[in-house]
Structures are given as structure tokens and as C-alpha cells.
């Protein structure tokens, strides 16, 4: 089975206590490189939320044996390195386990197709569905320059957001690495998968009136201010 690592833990709460109305349930949508991970971490800090990120959970389980599904590949990692979506059955299991003990959360990287969106709608309500809007021309340089902490998953960029000390995570001291799927070729494939599979999800939330689009351009601080303004109303 799949375990989900959370970067930020909520304060202690008694089992069975009702969900607090200040526990926001935020869905962050946007193409690869839009800034979902970067902003999700900041929102989790500010509002004391869990980050539920299917990408990180899958990276921690790249070698998991999923051959029993009888699909194209036998591990999540093979799909990820090809820039393809990991099968819904695997990803849905991650999300349902994470939602089970999250109160407030930021959901990043899920749902990525309409079937996942339908599954999610049976699992939880959402308070905010936010599209981080970034033009495609910006995404490739964001993604090819991205670096991540191998230990805690914190996100950096070689030019736009470097760590204080080269190769060392500011948050935990872990080693900063480049993801295997952040090469230019795989980035192009992932952007195509987004256009084909995930843009219909964005359209779905737009049609239901749930979606708010927020510009993801400008500095991370500027984008964060827009999100806080949205959530605080």
C-alpha cells in the first residue's frame, strides 16, 4: 500500500472533533511548472494545512509493484519517467488515504483527468478550486531549472529561487537534485498530457462555477499575495 508524506503537520487535535470551519480545503490546478508545489507549501504554512501531493507520494513509491493491474508498466516510476499519467487506481488510493486524516488541505497534482475528478467529488467537498494561470512560454524554463530536495520535497529553481547554500536544502539540510522527468524532452510530453487530459478538468470546474483563475506570473511572493487575498476574501 501507499504511504503519503506530509511536509506540514497540523496541530494536535482530538479524534472525533468536528472539522473546523477555518480548515480550508484548497485544490490547486495548473500545468506542470505553474507553481503549485511552491505555493502549496506556503499556503500550508500560512493556514496550517496538510499538503497532499500525488507527485511526491508517487516519487516515494516509484518502484512499487503494480504489475497486478496488468497495464503497460509494472511500476509508477516507469510512467513518470515517460511523462505519462500513473494509472488512476494507484493514484486514487493515495488520495483517499491522505484525505482520510486531513482536515484542512492543499491538494496538488490531482485530479489530472476527468475520471479522477469524478472520483474526488465522491470523497470530499472543496472550498477553493484555484487555477494557477501561467503562459506556456514560461513553463519550460521553470521546469528545466527546477531543483527539489531529495528528503523533504521542497522546491527550488537554479535562477529564480536558489537555496542559500549550493545543493543544500534551506528547510532540512537535505540534498538538492534534479527530477528525472524535468528534462526538456519529457517536459514537452508532460505539457501535452496536461493539454489532453487535465485541461478538460479545468474546464469542468469552470463550468460548475467553482473555478477561480489566479495569475501565476510574477514573483512567488506576488503570486502568494493573490492567493491569500482570494482565501481571506
CA dihedral 95, 22, 208, 193 (to 10 degrees): -40
* Window contacting Zn ion (CB under 5 A); options: 17-25, 50-58, 70-78, 162-170: 162-170
Q: Which does 186 bind (CB under 5 to 8 A by kind): Zn ion, ligand ADP, none?
A: none
Tell me if 152 contacts Zn ion by CB under 5 A.
yes
Tell me if 149 contacts Zn ion by CB under 5 A.
yes
At residue 52, the 3 state secondary structure works out as strand
Out of 23, 24, 25, 30, point to the residue binding ligand ADP (CB under 6 A).
Answer: 30
Length of the chain: 233
**Which set of grid coordinates corresponds to residue 9?**
503537520
Longest Cα–Cα distance of the chain, Å, equals: 48
Chain mean position to CA 116: 14
* Window contacting Zn ion (CB under 5 A); options: 99-107, 110-118, 136-144, 167-175: 167-175
> Minimum distance from CB of 152 to Zn ion (Å)?
3
**Residues with a known catalytic role:** 36, 112, 146, 179, 190
Residues 75-104 that bind ligand ADP (CB under 6 A): 79-80, 83-86, 91
Residue appearing with cell numbers 493573490:
226
Concatenated DSSP letters for 66-134?
Answer: -GGG-SS-SSHHHHHHTTPPPPHHHHHHHHHHHHHT-SSEEEES---SHHHHHHHHHH---SEEEEEE-
Residues 29-88 that bind Zn ion (CB under 5 A): none
Out of 42, 155, 201, 202, point to the residue binding ligand ADP (CB under 6 A).
Answer: 155
- Which residues would be at the binding site for ligand ADP (CB under 6 A)? 30, 32-38, 54-55, 58, 79-80, 83-86, 91, 109-110, 112, 116, 142-143, 145-146, 155-157, 160-161, 181, 190, 218-220, 223
Amino acid at each position: 500500500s501507499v504511504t503519503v508524506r506530509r511536509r506540514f503537520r497540523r496541530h494536535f487535535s482530538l479524534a472525533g472533533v468536528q472539522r473546523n470551519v477555518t480548515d480550508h480545503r484548497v485544490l490547486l490546478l495548473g500545468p506542470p511548472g505553474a507553481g503549485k508545489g511552491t505555493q502549496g507549501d506556503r499556503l500550508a504554512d500560512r493556514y496550517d494545512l496538510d499538503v497532499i501531493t500525488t507527485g511526491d507520494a508517487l516519487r516515494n513509491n516509484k518502484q512499487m509493484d503494480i504489475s497486478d493491474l496488468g497495464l503497460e508498466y509494472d511500476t509508477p516510476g516507469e510512467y513518470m519517467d515517460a511523462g505519462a499519467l500513473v494509472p488512476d487506481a494507484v493514484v486514487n488510493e493515495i488520495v483517499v488515504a491522505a484525505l482520510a486524516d486531513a482536515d484542512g488541505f492543499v491538494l496538488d497534482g490531482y485530479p489530472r483527468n476527468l475520471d479522477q475528478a469524478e472520483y474526488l467529488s465522491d470523497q470530499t467537498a472543496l472550498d477553493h478550486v484555484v487555477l494557477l494561470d501561467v503562459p506556456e512560454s514560461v513553463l519550460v524554463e521553470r521546469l528545466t531549472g527546477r531543483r527539489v530536495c531529495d528528503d523533504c520535497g521542497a522546491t527550488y529553481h537554479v535562477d529564480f529561487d536558489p537555496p542559500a547554500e549550493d545543493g543544500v536544502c534551506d528547510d532540512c539540510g537535505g540534498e538538492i537534485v534534479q527530477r528525472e522527468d524535468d528534462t526538456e524532452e519529457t517536459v514537452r510530453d508532460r505539457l501535452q498530457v496536461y493539454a489532453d487530459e487535465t485541461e478538460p478538468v479545468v474546464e469542468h470546474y469552470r463550468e460548475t462555477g467553482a473555478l477561480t483563475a489566479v495569475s501565476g506570473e510574477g514573483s512567488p511572493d506576488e503570486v502568494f499575495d493573490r492567493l491569500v487575498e482570494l482565501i481571506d476574501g
